[in-house]
Amino acid sequence: MKKQHFIPLALAATMLAACSTVSMTGRRQLNIVSEADILSASLTEYQSYMQSATKSRDAAATQVVTTVAQRIAAAAEAYLTAVGQEADLQNYAWEFNLVEDPQLNAFCMPGGKIVVYTGMLNLIGNGTDRDDELAAVIGHEVSHAIAKHGQERASQQMLASMGSSVLSGVMSGASSQLQSAVATAYGLGTQYGALLPFSRKHELEADYMGSVLATLAGYDADAAITLWQKMEAQSSGSQPTFLSTHPSSTKRISELQKNNPQVKRDYAAAALFPSSAAAAAKATTSTAAPASSAKASATTAKSKKATTTAKKSSTGYRIGN
């Protein structure tokens, strides 16, 4: 008798119930890992990482990171409030860290634990667009968190590891698997290239959302383009997109150039903070809202943001189009 393979109804129902939507882009995602579980597991990973990490003693550099990160965090909170996701905010206890590490890296764990490596800050430099490029980095990483990419990636890892065992009791006794999945999802303790943390779709989505958050925080979203140009110049060679789960720098730059004009039109008027020097300079020569409108109160910004978000949801942002 031919062996039949099927998905049990209980699992199918669980997976259906676990489907959700990324509000800023309209993309559907599957999250079988609960919010409580991902927060607990990611906090454990974050605390373990910070115990071995060396915090920067450069007070000025640390303050730069903290200031930019606080503005991005405020933009994320305003956005989540505007789209009716206030409940998510109770899970955020923001922390901002600059860590001594030459790698070009940064991350934001679920719950708002942000880490920027000194290698990334050194690449950015101290030019007039320093804060804008740093906002692009932090905005991108925070976007991974508020879009629940880590939760989605951990869910994918657990599904892959459990395979045909059908999630044995769906999630019972899965704590060790979840911890491993979270560690893998964020690449902590693993070699880059062994299993990369996010898919191309996640990375491009976070690039787009990062531009939105940077704009809401008063920064120039186009700094993400110059940042990736620096990253491209820094790399010894560009790996073809199809050989990596990360998009190539060229692909990311192309997507940013395509999407940023619309991001500015939709979100600049709702900025929570005065425009950065770079953003203000561009505003005077474009059709975007004047920089003075960026001084609107948080209440007004949230109201405008809600309208903008509804518009974006109706048009349906599509990654890579």
Tokens encoding 220: 């120039």
Sign of CA dihedral 83, 88, 90, 93: negative
Give which of 83, 67, 120 is closest to 212, Cα–Cα.
83
Bridge partner list, 95: 113
Q: What is the DSSP string of 65-76?
A: HHHHHHHHHHHH
What span, in angstroms and rounded, lies between the C-alpha atoms of 115 and 167? 33
Q: Which helix (H) or strand (E) covers residue 21, if one does?
A: strand 19-21
In the set 45, 141, 152, 203, the catalytic residue is 141
**Contact predicate 158/177, CB 8 Å:** yes
Helix axes 149-162, 35-52, angle to 10 degrees: 100
Residue the block writes with tokens 């956005």? 79
E strands present in the chain? 19-21, 28-30, 95-99, 106-109, 113-117
Whether 141 is catalytic: yes
Catalytic residues: 141
